Amino acid sequence: MILFVFEGGKGEPTIFDSIEKLFLSGEELRVVKCGFDLPTLYSNLKKTGEDLFRSLPLKENGITIPEGKRTDTIFSQIFLFFDYDFQNRLGVQRLNQILDEMLEFFNDETENGKLYINYPMVESLKYTKELPDGHYYEYVATRQECVEHKFKENAELFAYAMAKGYRFINLSKIDKSDVLSNWEYLKLQNVMKANFLLTGNNEMPERKDVINQAAIFDAQKKDFVDKTMSVAILNSFPLFLYEYLK
């Protein structure tokens, strides 16, 4: 069984709906909507001796563990999706320290779990003027934009018509074939952008392991956060599909 852990209760489940139906239909899975951010998960882990399952609201998400069963034997893979939370009141330095630790801890889906980060947040998926968008690799978001809680609104305004409200991946609103095509475009432009961050080449990488989450975070810090208090807009769901699908 696969466990998916989401920071939010709206954006991530909306995005995941078509992923589950199109790419994971043969898998048995459970979803946890946390309702809290990455620093809170970090705090919970410290309090529970790095026990992920005691750090998550399992019961609140309808997940019950059979008596006598160890939670870590039930889930064969664990994937976590959280936002960078550029605007967090802890400050950028402390936030980066936490994320460094979390990416080191959650680096394998078959062990502690694998963490994916959205920059600056999950709404980055619809920050595109078309599909494919040849300029996607250039788009950035500033910390000030996040502090002023403007990125969500800006992403919706920036999005081309079909991307507004995530319509371009909504199976109840457009044809399955179109959703599949859109996911392919989203995968290509996010994977190519991740590769661009790491190698300077806006093209598909030669190997999947080139664009691992820790390397992406290091590049974000070095080339954007530390220099201009900004991040390169990037969404983790297409990166997950790229890595997960054979």
The string of DSSP letters for 68-117 reads: T--GGGT-SEEEEEEE--TT-TT-HHHHHHHHHHHHHHSEETTTTEEEEE
Cα dist. 66→1, 70, 94, 112 in Å? Answer: 14, 8, 38, 21
Identify whether 13 is preceded by a cis peptide bond (ω within 30 of 0). Answer: no
Using alpha carbons, select from 200, 202, 197, 188 the residue that is nearest to residue 239: 188
- CB contact at 8 A, 192 and 202: yes
pLDDT tens track of the chain, all 246 residues? 999 999 999 999 999 999 999 999 989 999 999 999 999 999 999 999 999 999 999 999 999 878 777 877 899 999 999 999 899 889 999 999 999 999 999 999 999 999 999 999 999 999 999 999 999 999 999 999 999 999 999 999 999 999 999 999 999 999 999 999 999 999 999 999 999 999 999 999 999 989 999 999 999 999 999 999 999 999 999 999 999 987
Beta strands in the chain (DSSP E): 2-6, 29-33, 77-83, 107-108, 113-118, 140-142, 230-232
In angstroms, rounded to a whole number, what is the distance separating the alpha carbons of residues 192 and 132? 11
Please state whether beta strands 107-108 and 2-6 pair in parallel, antiparallel, or not at all (unpaired): unpaired
Burial environment of residue 45 by CB neighbours within 10 A (0 to 12, 13 to 18, 19 or more): buried
Angle at 35 between CA 179 and CA 167, to 5 degrees: 20
Helix then strand then coil, in percent of the chain rounded to 5, is 55, 15, 35
At which residue do the structure tokens 């959703």 appear? Answer: 179
- CB contact at 8 A, 8 and 122: yes
At which residue do the structure tokens 């995968």 appear? Answer: 187
Q: What is the pLDDT of residue 70?
A: 80
Q: pTM for the full model?
A: 0.97
